[in-house]
Structure 1
Amino acid sequence: MDDGLIWILVGLVLLMAEIVVPGVFLLWIGLAALGTGLVTVLFAPGFATKVVVFLVLLAVGIGAALTLRRRQKPPVRVNTPDAGLVGRMGTVTERSPAGARVHLGDSDWSARVSGEAEVGDTVRVDGVDGTTLVVSRVRR
């Protein structure tokens, strides 16, 4: 069997494996193998040239993948406890040595207060720790 056809066959096998095994690493190796196979069929280069062509095509593919990855938007954080809560204002409804409760929107949340805040004070959500709000008193 011709070397070029072997490169093309290996590239196709890797591309099919990419479909079965999720990820994107086999895609670039498979495309580099296909490209090397095409160069081999068209020009019949020596072994060293085939290796260099394969490595150059692989480097170009990895560079393209990294460029595409940088352009992706960060994942949308839907239905996570801190989605949309940080920065919102609430009211302290209960304060005890064990912690506090804060009314925020239409819900009451357990809260950990940074600093001093009494019942009725307005607080701002600074973060979320599990299902506990981390809040601080808003100074007027």
Structure 2
Amino acid sequence: MEPGLIWILAGLLALGAELVLPGVYLVWAGLAAIGTGLAIVVSGPASDWGFGWHVALFLVLLATGVALSLRHRRNGPTRRVNAPEAGLAGRRATILSTPDGALRVRLGDSEWPARLPRGVLGAVPGTAVRVEAVDGLVLVVRPIEGEAQPGAPS
């Protein structure tokens, strides 16, 4: 069997293995092997490069593919799916009463530890707040202006 076809077959096997074992590791090796095989086939049987040149071409194509992938990943958008802060900023929550006095809020069907920004005085349970930011797993909340505070004179 011709060396170019062996490289192409090895690349197709690597791509097939990537479908079974996903992780984006075998994609670059498979594409580099296919590229090496195509280069050997296109160059024709008259030019016998030798196995050392085949491996060198494969490694160059592999390094190029990985470098382009890393460059694209760095320049692409960074989305944190299923991260605590994903979509929480700007949402409305309610301050809960806790026996230990720690600030907690109810947001949707969950309770979150919370804190107020600097310079904002403590809020009483039942106060409506808006999430301004997320600091680790702690929500930074601020009372919503214009809404009646519980226990405040109307």
Classify the TM-score, shorter chain. Answer: 0.5 to 0.7
Report the TM-score, using the length of structure 2 for normalisation: 0.60
Post-superposition offset of 1:77: 4.5
Post-superposition offset of 1:69: 2.3
Report the TM-score, using the length of structure 1 for normalisation: 0.65
Distance between the aligned counterparts of 2:86 and 2:27, measured in 1? Answer: 34
Which has more helix, going by share of residues? Answer: 1
Identity, in percent, stands at 43
Pick closer, same or farther for the CA change 1:112–1:72 going to 2, 3 Å: closer
Name the stretch that deviates more: 46-55 or 85-94.
85-94
List alignment gaps of at least 5 residues for structure 2. 145-154
Matched, 1:25 2:25: yes
- How large is the Cα RMSD of the aligned pairs? 3.7
**Within-5 A mapping of 1:101-116:** 102=105, 111-114=113-116, 116=121
Matched, 1:99 2:102: yes
Distance between the aligned counterparts of 1:110 and 1:39, measured in 2? Answer: 58
**Within-5 A mapping of 1:19-98:** 19-41=19-41, 42=44, 43-75=47-79, 77=81, 82-86=85-89, 92=95, 94=97, 96-98=99-101
* Alignment check: 8 A CA contact 2:97 2:104 kept: yes
Matched, 1:5 2:32: no
Letter in 2 for 1:23: G
Which has more strand, going by share of residues? Answer: 1
* Alignment check: 8 A CA contact 1:81 1:128 kept: no
Distance between the aligned counterparts of 1:62 and 1:22, measured in 2? Answer: 16
